[in-house]
Structure 1
Amino acid sequence: MRTHTVDRLAAFVLGLEGLAVAALVGWQIWALAVGDTGSVQSAVALMVLTAVGAVAVLAFAVATWRGLSWGRSGGVVTQLLILAVALGAVTGAYASPTTGLALAIPGLIALVLLLFAVRAAGRQARGPASE
């Protein structure tokens, strides 16, 4: 399957997001090592779930790079979840607009790129006459 530039850009942004989540796992390991956690069991469980999320986002990036539809679908769902977290970060008792923007900007960029990648894949699937 032929991939387009927009697929590659979307995969690149997804890969950066996956690496950011993996870095979060590293930070959680550090916090656990220095004793900056209230509950070791909860910290380990959160670390495992975060690692699973990092692997999933990186898998979506690789699949998108290869032009596979499940990677784009998973990437879109991931971006919608990121945008939901960003909205939560800017509202509520402990609102942090800076954190919300830091999450929302790459989430919106990736979402737009993924939607363009879906459109390009749809045109390619309909045949060469539609490109």
Structure 2
Amino acid sequence: MRAPGLALAAAAVLAAEGAALVVFALIELLGLGAGDAASLPTAVALIVLTLIGAAALFAFAWGTRSGRSWARSGGLVFQVLAIGLAFATLTLQPVVWAFVVGVGLPGAVGFALLIASARRENASSER
């Protein structure tokens, strides 16, 4: 079963977030190679966990594109975490607005698309 347009847009947001995490992991890996890490085991663990998160986002993107409800649920959890992280960053001084917008805006858009997709799919199944 193929998902409607809203689900495809939500899947695109999830995939873009997964790609951003891969880029972040690569940047961290380059920093590790340059000797910027204070603790090698902690740096490796951060990279591995970041790549696991990216793999989860790619899986949720694939599942959302396929119309799977489990994928929308997992994607929603990631979006709520992204929005929470963006709001938490507002407490730091000076506020890094690029990070707040770069994490919060895709999280809010992804959240709205996933909810709208679920509602539309539910309305379609009731007819």
Partners in 2 of 1:68 and 1:29 — Cα distance?
33
1:90–1:99 contact (8 Å) kept in structure 2: no
1:103 matched residue in structure 2:
103
Q: Which runs of 5+ in 2 are unaligned?
A: none
Query: Could you state the TM-score of these two structures normalised by the residue count of structure 1?
Result: 0.91
Secondary structure in structure 2 of the residue aligned to 1:29: helix
- How far residue 93 of structure 1 moved from its aligned partner, in angstroms, is 4.1
Partners in 2 of 1:15 and 1:98 — Cα distance?
20
The question of 1:6 aligning with 2:43 is answered: no
Q: Over aligned residue pairs, what C-alpha RMSD do you find? A: 1.2
The question of 1:66 aligning with 2:66 is answered: yes
Secondary structure in structure 1 of the residue aligned to 2:92: coil
Secondary structure in structure 2 of the residue aligned to 1:95: coil
Partners in 2 of 1:120 and 1:22 — Cα distance?
31
- How far residue 123 of structure 1 moved from its aligned partner, in angstroms, is 1.4
2:19 matched residue in structure 1:
19
Partners in 1 of 2:69 and 2:82 — Cα distance?
20
Partners in 1 of 2:23 and 2:56 — Cα distance?
14
Where has structure 1 moved over 4 Å in runs of 4 or more? none
Secondary structure in structure 2 of the residue aligned to 1:35: coil
The total of aligned residue pairs comes to 127
State the Cα deviation string for residues 95-123 of structure 1 (Å, max 9, x = none): 32331111111111111111111101211
Secondary structure in structure 2 of the residue aligned to 1:38: coil
**Equivalent residue letter for 2:55:** V
Q: Which runs of 5+ in 1 are unaligned?
A: none
- How far residue 92 of structure 1 moved from its aligned partner, in angstroms, is 3.1
Structure of greater relative contact order (alpha carbons < 8 Å, 6+ residues apart): 2
Query: Could you state the TM-score of these two structures normalised by the residue count of structure 2?
Result: 0.94
